[in-house]
């Protein structure tokens, strides 16, 4: 992967505690899976940054290599890749996402 793109992605992840690579924006998600993860975070009142991959083809392809994960959305919390839509939904339902946020000292609505 091009070093510039890698650095760009790495900067997003480092500079945003909770970073969601998604299709569309948190206000207007453009894909059902991005919408679902965005809604989970909103429900938990987690402050997060959405990176719209539809606006940047290099990031769209780059993030898949970066995390070795073929789909979008992708959620990072404090630089750790947490998962895609299925994993986030499942973690939320089991309360594991809340535990993760707790462990990482990220504030959310209890």
Partner 1 sequence: MSLKIDEIKKMIQEAIPDAEINIQDTAGDENHYSATIKSKIFSGKSKIEQHKLVYKALKGKMGNELHALALNTLEL
Return residues touching partner 1 (CB under 8 A). Answer: 33, 64, 68-72, 81, 83-87, 90-91
Q: Which is nearer to partner 1, 45 or 95 (CB)?
A: 95
State which residue, 68 or 109, has the beta carbon closest to partner 1. 68
47: Cα within 13 Å, side-chain hemisphere: 5
The least CB distance from residue 37 to partner 1, in Å, is 13
Q: 21 exposed, middle or buried (CB, 10 Å; 0-12, 13-18, 19+)?
A: buried
Length of the chain: 110
Closer CB to partner 1, residue 71 or residue 107?
71
């Amino acid at each position: 992967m091009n070093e510039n793109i890698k650095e760009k992605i790495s900067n997003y992840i480092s500079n945003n505690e909770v970073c969601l690579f998604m299709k569309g924006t948190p206000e207007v998600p453009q894909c059902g899976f991005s919408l679902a993860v965005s809604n989970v975070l909103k429900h938990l009142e987690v402050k997060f940054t959405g990176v719209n991959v539809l606006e940047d083809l290099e990031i769209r392809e780059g993030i898949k290599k970066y995390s070795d994960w073929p789909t979008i959305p992708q959620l990072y919390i404090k630089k750790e890749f947490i998962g895609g839509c299925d994993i986030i939904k499942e973690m939320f339902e089991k309360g594991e996402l809340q535990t993760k946020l707790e462990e990482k000292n990220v504030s959310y609505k209890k």
